[in-house]
Amino acid sequence: MVSADHEGLGAAALAGNEFIIPTYKGIGAQVPEEIASQRCTYLCGNSLGPLAKRSQFLIQQELCVWATRAVVGHFNHPHGREWMNIADTVTPLLADLVGAKDKEVACMGTLTANLHLMMSAFYKPTPNRYKILCEGKAFPSDQYAFASQAVFHDYDPKDAIVELFPREGEFTLRNSDILDVIAKQGSSIALVIFSGVQYYTGQWFPMKEITEAAKKQGCVCGWDLAHAIGNVPLSLHDWDVDFAVWCSYKYLNSGPGGIGGLFVHEKWEANKAPQFAGWWGHDPATRFQMPPDFSPTPGAQGFQQSNPSVLTTVSLLGSLQVFKEVGMMRPLRERSVLLTAHLEVLLRQTGFYVTPDEAAKHSVNDPPRFTIITPEERESRGAQLSLLFLPPKSDIMERILGYLESSGVIGDERRPDVIRLTPAPLYNTTRDCERAAEVLRRAFEAIGRST
């Protein structure tokens, strides 16, 4: 199978040698012994990025410093990474990725904890303006945070939270529908908060347009960038985004449970003091004098509460150094667009693909098939493709997933019927795309023979 988008793509990843991809043997794939030690087809960076070799090296360095210097490492470090300033090693790189000034970014905490901190500062409901507008089927942790914040302010989540769902027979939201709701209901909306890239469908929302529409109606606008940072280009400062939060273990490859981050636009610096202060948000010039009164660090870093984990920070640093060396998001995005399009064409050529319109009409008596619910337009998606398996709510998705995994192709499932496949431009190759499509075709053929 040959993709029209393959020309000019190149077979090699941008930085494939910089990452440790699990082997077929390591993931328990049932493959011939002669290839068991080869790297598997890992298309799951949307869920957990692989280990960067530099991260492994930096973590080992810090363990050595801990062993040889202990508490002294906070102020005197053999590699110039004093632990009291460890976040400074990644802040400029994160700011570059999200399109922000350094002081607008803080490397800290975890995504949902940071979301609560941001909502405590920015969600200020009034009797006439108290609603939270978000996409339907947002990631559950976001849903829980929105609901609990509404309850904290004595509002019923069923009334306070406005969820937008795709139209009947469609799988993703129309941009016009989002903008229409903001225009019509904006006077009652306190906070507009969407995922930059929707975790289930892979839809990249029009962030600039949504932010502009929200601000025009007097709404605060925030973003969950868990699936956007390191995946698509961002310009949070220029778009006038109020705040954003993210994790770093997906496209940023910082490791399971890696450190999170947040953005606060500089325009809020003078009048958005942290509501829940901690000592690491105190002005570093006097932090270790232990004064009784809190004096926040200007900008986003004033929202820090505790000192960041050194090991998780340098794990992130190792990956971000690779981002820096390949040129950050411009070359990554260019390759990502081609690589995902290549995979898309190959999947459509398997013989088992149906269009989204055909999928909406698929019945339980029709043969097993799949469609791609991620938008086809490159400006409306990142690296991820979400495959919806048919008939819906059958066992087809699980059977396909089992076949993929036993053959050494790693994606991930989102129940009831979706498998996400994500060719990441840093480390995935055209061969990864080709093998994934070929194994998917064989999986459908095996199901056909068994029925």
Instruction: Determine the pLDDT at residue 270.
Output: 84
Specify the pTM.
0.95
Which residues fall within 8 angstroms of residue 289, CB to CB, at 6 or more apart? none
Instruction: Determine the pLDDT at residue 12.
Output: 67
**Burial of 170 by CB count in 10 Å (0-12 exposed, 13-18 middle, 19+ buried)?**
middle
Alpha helices by DSSP H, 103-227:
111-122, 140-152, 157-160, 175-185, 207-216
Q: Which structure tokens are listed for 35?
A: 């290839």
Query: Taking the CA of residue 301 as centre, how many other CA atoms within 13 Å lie in the half-sphere pointing to its CB?
Result: 21
Q: How far, in Å, CA of 113 to CA of 120, rounded?
A: 11
- Residue 221: its H or E element: strand 220-224
Instruction: Determine the pLDDT at residue 7.
Output: 53
Instruction: Determine the pLDDT at residue 275.
Output: 83
Q: How far, in Å, CA of 150 to CA of 154, rounded?
A: 6
Sign of the alpha-carbon torsion through 274, 206, 225, 132: positive
Instruction: Determine the pLDDT at residue 213.
Output: 98
> For residues 195 and 139, is the Cβ–Cβ distance under 8 A?
yes
Instruction: Determine the pLDDT at residue 1.
Output: 34
- Residue 105: its H or E element: strand 105-107
Instruction: Determine the pLDDT at residue 6.
Output: 54
Instruction: Determine the pLDDT at residue 5.
Output: 44
Per-residue pLDDT tens listing for the chain (451 residues) = 333 445 556 666 778 799 999 999 999 999 999 999 999 999 999 999 999 999 999 999 999 999 999 999 999 999 999 999 999 999 999 999 999 999 999 999 999 999 999 999 999 999 999 999 999 999 999 999 999 999 999 999 999 999 999 999 999 999 999 999 999 999 999 999 999 999 999 999 999 999 999 999 999 999 999 999 999 999 999 999 999 999 999 999 999 999 999 999 999 998 877 889 999 999 999 999 999 999 999 999 999 999 999 999 999 999 999 999 999 999 999 999 999 999 999 999 999 999 999 999 999 999 999 999 999 999 999 999 999 999 998 999 999 999 999 999 999 999 999 999 999 999 999 999 999 999 999 999 999 888 6
Instruction: Determine the pLDDT at residue 4.
Output: 40
